Structure 1
């Protein structure tokens, strides 16, 4: 029964995120928002809403191992497998500003997370945890990022054809799609947390382990679908912006809110995964700086590396 509920929860998350992104993107087009900004905000936050729903629900229920594992696992999945697949389908052009500002900010957020969870090493405390105070720090950095995006929106004069294209839905329908999608995401998040926790206990898996694997992959499916679709349509700005924005949103907003609700105790095993997340972000920055493009070969390297990582996590247990 738990497996069935998990499947239903994922379906609600994926379809909910799909409707949420469609409605929110429609609103953005009607308001004439630049494409890269759509990728970094509306699409990124929309596709990351499953992670938010699952992690916040896990924090409320006290299953914080799932919350942290979900975010770290999703971010690794996003950069390695999703960027890898999309680049192999169609080489991804990366905006100059994304290389200079957004990806370095993602790297900064990843390093900040490592610093905040290293209580034993840096402060000599008995346990490592993300406290409520740490959550407020993450939240402040998220506000800085939002302020930066607001500045980009106000000063951007680019008007792509996609922005001026006819939007088939009215504002009312777009709002309805957005609200309905959000409701499905919240419901799906509840089912995923409840059922995955039951499965973890049955199989003897830790909450962090199941967060890094089943939950991380499941909640990242909207990012995968969105980025692949954008790559096929040769909308690289949305594909890359989606992943970069999602990773920033996951660390700063999702973990910020989750730890503010309830402190997150850190499993020592996840330090390897956090460092790997930082390494992947650095690799993404390096790949993006080469002619401002992620090639098919670079995409293959990222994809292959994720397969090795997945085997490592499963064998590690």
Structure 2
């Protein structure tokens, strides 16, 4: 089993690096094609940073490991708004504007609730289509909001800053000096790397679950979810250091929105009618409660204190005994 653990860890490393280059290559290519910065920020970067969850869950579902697939998305949703948001609030107060609380956060919470109910009922291809259609509508709503008022400038600035940043392992030259063919190649190789890393992670995580005699959903909820949420953790810590609390909240709730709608759609479409991906009642309820808890704490004073951060961390610690008892 030691070899399987090492191979799963290698899959996580490949997944993280490849996803980084996939998003950067896609965003820089979109900019060179003169696509609106708002579209780059909301669609290319927003969907791209959730690519690890989508592809890992999709690969797992296609292999018949539906428990691992659902556990990964559910675990990521819970982990984002408890562990990661709690860590960010411990590092400093996380403030958020009332506009974000009124619009983006409720949309993300609604997506989590929809995913939780459909996952409890079973993610069949038909329910996958429902989630996909809802996801498209959600993206259109986000684009409309982003084009209004100061949000347009903020998203455009964030997209430009992201595209000019370097990847975890990047070439030591400025993006503008790279040849035109480099970014498409980067994006394609990044996608191939994400797929390879996902396959390596899923196959070995499934084997570990079998060897330990534990349900796949637990491995998905813990090992796989934590691994695929590493990009969100890194982005959150960097944004918090720069004092961009709105970006912290938007990144985490936005990740949950894309995970639930697009990730859930991928699981449903890949699972097939014979073996739909299912989440236990306890897991579905926990997803809804943690999303509601984070929303409630942010609404109280439009900020998270260190005491409230400890509440979120405690909520994450309590989810594991709840899951094991089901």
Q: Which category describes the TM-score, using the shorter chain as reference length? A: 0.7 to 0.9
Provide the residue aligned with 1:292 in structure 2: 302
2:193 maps to 184
Aligned equivalents of 1:227 and 1:142: distance in 2? 23
- TM-score normalised by length of structure 1: 0.85
- Counterpart residue number, 1:33: 37
1:230 maps onto 2:239 in alignment: yes
Superposition deviation, residue 104 in structure 1: 1.0
- State the TM-score, normalized to the length of structure 2: 0.83
In structure 2, the residue matched to 1:281 is 291
Establish whether residue 70 from structure 1 lines up as the match of residue 72 from structure 2: yes
**2:170 counterpart residue number:** none
Establish whether residue 143 from structure 1 lines up as the match of residue 144 from structure 2.
Answer: no
Give CA-to-partner distance per residue, 1:234-272, whole Å, 9 cap, x none: 22232221111111111111111221222454556x221
Q: Is the 8 A contact 1:67 1:255 kept in 2?
A: no
What SS is found at the alignment partner of 2:153?
A: coil
Q: Which moved more, 1:90-99 or 1:71-80?
A: 90-99
Residues 129 and 266 in structure 1, CA contact (< 8 A), matched pair in contact too: yes
Unaligned 5+ runs, structure 2: 165-173
Q: Is the 8 A contact 1:47 1:220 kept in 2?
A: no
Contact 1:45-1:245 within 8 A present in 2 as well: no
The structural deviation recorded for 1:307 is 2.1
Map of 1:304 onto structure 2? 314
Structure 1 residue runs without a partner (length 5+): 119-127
Say what the alpha-carbon RMSD is for the aligned residues. 2.7
Q: 1:1-317, aligned counterparts within 5 Å?
A: 1-24=3-26, 33=37, 38=41, 41-118=43-120, 128-157=121-150, 158-160=152-154, 167=164, 168-170=174-176, 172=180, 174-261=183-270, 262-263=272-273, 265=276, 270-313=280-323, 315-316=324-325
Give the stretch that moved more between structures: 44-53 or 156-165: 156-165
**2:26–2:184 CA contact under 8 A, matched in 1:** yes
Aligned residues: 304
Alpha-carbon deviation of 1:310? 3.1
